[in-house]
Amino acid sequence: MTRLISEIFWMRALACIGIVVIHSISLTVANNPDLVKNQWPTYVQLYLMFCTPLFVFITEFLNAHKYGDKLKKGFIRKRLLYLGIPYVMLNLFWTIDKYSPATLTELIEGFIMVTIRGHSVTYFILIIFQFYILHMIFSRYLRKLNPFAVVAASIVLTSAYWGVRLIYPAPDHILGQLIWAKEGQTIFIGWITYFVLGYYIGIHYEAFKANIRKYSWLIVGLFIFSMFFVLVTHTSGINSAMGSKRLDTPIYTTAVILMIFLISTYYNHVPKFIMYISNYSFGIYLLHLIFINDMGMMTDIVFWDITYKAILAVCLSIFTAYVFNLNKYGKFFVGNVGKKRHDLPPAPNINLDVDVGFKKDEMA
């Protein structure tokens, strides 16, 4: 029988709800010109910026944990069907809704903007497909390297990538214009930390879980440091723009992921609500902004306006995904709905007193 990896369901639920809250705050702030920057909604957004990276981390974690170094035959074809087709269909909708094209040429130009150039919420799917390619090419080599060194180097590389785009103006040539523009946000270099972290934790999952408590204070310390680092980079003006493409996001997201895994060694239960949200997480991610963009002010009280928007967007996204998935072809329009059940047993308990090393024969 299939066993649950409880952390993944928590991560999916947390990530998709967090993204809905981020966009709900953005709309509320836009509708409240007197709400000055750096009031509490700003900091809620700031500390939720790990959500999209968390989604792409999950992708590589599951690939590494389930398939090891070699993806199964037909893997890419299946992903093209269940990720690629919804990507095209949703972006076609975004093109019509955002640009209102009057001619076929305008439709094509708008479609290129949202699909290839990353001007829609679906851009993370482009990153996921790059991860598939990276896994097929580099996973066998990553296994031979030191996980800690590779992850540390990736954090430096990813942070430097976003930092360079932030600090320096775009070079006056086509490559520079692309990297510094919206397209640069979808290039795998800016997300490589979550790829290597997902690979190593996924492929060494049992050993990782068995040893993680030994590093509790280091993980907690990293988490506290990263929160302070995010605060400093924001308030000092070094990186005050909102978004997951920040120079402080790689280390902060890494700390959040490690904290989730650490907490899960003490609490392995997945509540029904979390499982339910997790099953609909892909649909929520793809659809929520369609509804949020059409919402006006619901109340003059900022907290409740954000709350109402988030709850309504989640409920409407779930309802839409449910209705579409009643038809066998509906998943190709709004994404597939997960079928994981709450009554499945959790992953086997690991004896946390046993010293388990990262050995080749312990691969998940």
Q: How confident is the model at residue 58 (pLDDT cuts 50, 70, 90)?
A: very high
Sign of the CA dihedral with 272 first, then 273, 278, and 279 last: positive
Q: Please state the length of the chain.
A: 364
The structure tokens listed for 232 are 């400093």
**HSE-up (13 A, CA, CB side) for residue 361:** 0
Q: Which percentage of the chain shows pLDDT scores above 70? A: 92
- pTM value > 0.85: yes
CA distances from 180 to 85, 124, 169, 176 (A): 28, 17, 8, 6
The answer to whether residues 205 and 5 touch, using CB atoms and an 8 Å cutoff, is yes
For 319-362, the pLDDT digits (tens) are: 999 999 998 888 888 888 877 765 555 554 444 333 333 333 33
Instruction: Map tokens 């031979």 to a residue.
Output: 144
Q: What single string gives the DSSP state of each residue in 48-82?
A: TTTHHHHHHHHHHHHHHHHHTTSPPTTHHHHHIII
The structure tokens listed for 190 are 């800016």
Task: List CB contacts of 61: < 8 A, sequence separation 6 or more.
Answer: 8, 198, 199, 201, 202
What pLDDT, on a 0 to 100 scale, did the predictor assign at position 251? 96
For 217-227, the pLDDT digits (tens) are: 999 999 999 99
Q: Where are the domains of the chain?
A: 56-214
